Amino acid sequence: MPGIVGIYIAFVTAILSGMLFFFLAVRDTQINSKQINAARLLYHLHVLSLVIAGIYLFYALLTHKYEYYYVYAHSGSELPVGYLISAFWAGQQGTLLLWAILSALIGLILVEKKTLLPPLMVFYLVSQIFLSLFLLLDSPFKSVAPVPSSGSGLNPLLMDPFMVVHPPIIFAGYALLAVPCCYALAALCKKEFRQGAMEALPWAVTGWFFLGAGIIIGGAWAYRVLGWGGYWGWDPVENASLVPWLTAGITVHSLLALRAGLRQIRSSLFFCIITYILVILATVITRSGVIAEFSVHAFTETVISPFLTAFFLFYLLLGLILFARRFQELGHISSDCKITQRNILFLCLTIILSLMALLILIGTLSPLIAGLTGQIAGVNENYYLKTGYLPLLLFFILLAVCSQPRWNLKRSNLRKTLTALVIPIIFVLSVLYLAVLYGLRSWSDLLSLTAITAAFCLAGIDLIKAIKYSRRKAGGKLAHIGLILMFAGILFSSSLQESKIIFLPKDEKVEALDFNFEYQGYFEETGKGGLQVLVENRGDGFLATLPYYFQGERLMREPYIKRYLVRDLYLSPLELQGVSETEQLVIEKGGYLVWKNYRIYFRNLALNKGDQSALMIEAVVDLISFDQVTSIYIALRQVDDGWEPVTATLPGGEEFVPLLIDSNQGVMVFRIEENDCCTEQEIFVMEVKSKPMVGLLLAGSILLMLGTGLAVWRRFTSFPLS
């Protein structure tokens, strides 16, 4: 069994190499000593062992060795080769092995360096020891008996090109962000503060790039596959990667400021350390089972859960202790730092991004915080929108100011400065005028658009200057442009989107959002089924096919997206019903409607645990009839393949059946079944969304990654292997 043997060897060699590097760090041994070479040799053996384990897992997947549970659970004989390869990282054990291999390969560069080598490798190998330990405790090479004749297959939602590349990119970011942390810890140990920070810079930029690219790819996958109409759902697992990406942005800019002579040594080293700690915390959140009830993406509790916590606590306590111990010495280095405009700007950037990261982290951990009081609760999307509005607005104002760092407000140059602002002001007013014509009315959205547009215009001028005078510096400017366009796309597509849930009886036309929709029936082909809907708009028509089929006992649904020049038409399948001919009703929280002798009032929503600890979204409804008020509780209970309704019986014997309860939007869709109704009719329930300016979001994401990629290239081309 080469796989498990390779993991055992990797674990032992990581410990031995780490111990040898530790003794060398304590003794301050010469860099070219025999002991150093021995430690390097052990590290190379560690890398080789992990690579062998990874190659063997690939081999097991490609040759369908179902005697291994991981192969059985995440692959099948009918899968194409590309998806058999991606099955490597479809489950927890495979992604941990991928992380360990990527980290080990990165370490091949570090182990050949000379600067801070022994302490650097000690801290780096601690991470490898933990990752190898996880693989020993929860191995991808666990056997299963009797051996199944076929695999259970890959989750169809993961059979997408984006999800083939998303996990490797995310974990490359995780692995790369370990390097700045270990350089910072080594620098604090050896009091070589500036040298350690400068060595960390290219790794921080590259890790930031990969983590950002992974987040964007994950958002694109969610938008086109999951069917809820969005690219970011503020799910705890999503946020767990977003928080270290924000702090990595602070790290990069702080290191750049330090390189420019601004002496940001404290913040540079602190954020190098805290970013990797947040990466580990993201792993704890995702894989320890602490939020399994609040995220469909999270893993349940496993044998490695306590060791994940130990992994997090090791770097947290070590980092805080070392930083606190050297805090005064770091202050002496920065004591002669002058208060300049650039220093103030970097300080503002650090405060704003730190506040954003902290607020998101609090929201992400809210289920744990509520759990301490014995409650089951978590924040919804509104929390993030409300708490994040002001920091994000300040961020774009700051970005606009940073794009023109030499504002000269002296009387002799004031006219020149104001003249330079004429074009940006005209541009901002023009965009605001068009936005109002397009339908943007909210003062908060208009204020955000003003800041974003001003930042875009000034950053564009800055980019043109950079291309003209110093093309090597254009990467960061281009990344700023991309970030601004990306958030402009988010603003438009969320604030101006229109949404409607419609019920489509077969072969009947229904109008919604200026389109006519006609459900034409269900078809099945090669094991996958879909719902066909004819869509017409001003003489233009097309047939949309929305995937809707069962994979085992799991219902799989995917959206259909029609892209236009300035908007996307987004069709989400909700439910296919063979139902009695009773009216489908929609009601918002706090609203009411009249049905026969009842006035139905939707009073409240709650998140509770039902039987066998199943998660339930529960709605409280008041029925008012002849001055009598009856409160009923209806719910959707979480099951393996989605949600099942928990019905309630009305006083007259009718059944109140919930079809959809949207806790974010506060909307409930339901029907009321009468006892004497028996006529069946096929009805397709579909959500229709018109989402403007999604293309702007796409363009911004591409420019952000392109600009950051150019910055990575610039940093590594001027990065000596010393």
Are residues 549 and 520 both part of a single domain?
yes
Is residue 390 a part of any domain in this protein?
Answer: no
Is residue 287 a part of any domain in this protein?
Answer: no
Residues 580, 706: contact at Cβ < 8 Å?
Answer: no
Are residues 58 and 113 both part of a single domain?
yes
Is residue 187 a part of any domain in this protein?
Answer: no
Boundary residue ending a domain (529, 550, 572): 572
Dmax over CA atoms of the chain, in Å, equals: 93
Are residues 77 and 125 both part of a single domain?
yes
Are residues 479 and 559 both part of a single domain?
no
Residues 466, 654: contact at Cβ < 8 Å?
Answer: no
Are residues 506 and 492 both part of a single domain?
no
Q: CA of 159: how far to CAs of 70, 87, 260, 289, in Å?
A: 17, 9, 46, 25
Is residue 634 a part of any domain in this protein?
Answer: yes
Boundary residue ending a domain (159, 180, 208): 159
| Residues 6 or more apart in contact with residue 295 via CB below 8 angstroms | 235, 236, 237
Is residue 668 a part of any domain in this protein?
Answer: yes
Secondary structure (3-state) at 103: helix
Secondary structure (3-state) at 514: coil
Q: For the purposes of burial, counting CB atoms within 10 Å of the CB of 316, is it exposed (0-12), middle (13-18) or buried (19 or more)?
A: middle
Measured CA to CA, the distance from residue 176 to residue 102 in angstroms comes to: 9
Measured CA to CA, the distance from residue 238 to residue 297 in angstroms comes to: 9
pLDDT of residue 607: 67
| Residues 6 or more apart in contact with residue 175 via CB below 8 angstroms | 99, 102, 103, 106, 207
Are residues 488 and 510 both part of a single domain?
no
Amino acid at 722: S
Is residue 276 a part of any domain in this protein?
Answer: no
Tokens read off for 592: 């009411």
Is residue 208 a part of any domain in this protein?
Answer: no
Are residues 513 and 548 both part of a single domain?
yes
Are residues 24 and 139 both part of a single domain?
yes
Are residues 510 and 489 both part of a single domain?
no
Boundary residue ending a domain (572, 594, 618): 572
Measured CA to CA, the distance from residue 118 to residue 36 in angstroms comes to: 8
CA 706, distance to chain mean position in Å, is 19
Are residues 534 and 649 both part of a single domain?
no
Measured CA to CA, the distance from residue 140 to residue 59 in angstroms comes to: 13
Is residue 566 a part of any domain in this protein?
Answer: yes
Positions of the chain with pLDDT lower than 50, given as ranges: 335-336, 408-412, 678, 721-722
Measured CA to CA, the distance from residue 170 to residue 245 in angstroms comes to: 11
As for how many domains the chain has, the answer is 4
pLDDT of residue 116: 87
Read off the DSSP letter of residue 223: I
Q: CA of 643: how far to CAs of 478, 586, 618, in Å?
A: 44, 18, 12
Are residues 625 and 478 both part of a single domain?
no
Measured CA to CA, the distance from residue 36 to residue 28 in angstroms comes to: 11
Residue 548 structural domain: 501-572
Are residues 76 and 91 both part of a single domain?
yes
Measured CA to CA, the distance from residue 311 to residue 28 in angstroms comes to: 27
Measured CA to CA, the distance from residue 653 to residue 548 in angstroms comes to: 33
The β-bridge partners of 683 are 505, 577
pLDDT of residue 593: 77
pLDDT of residue 7: 94
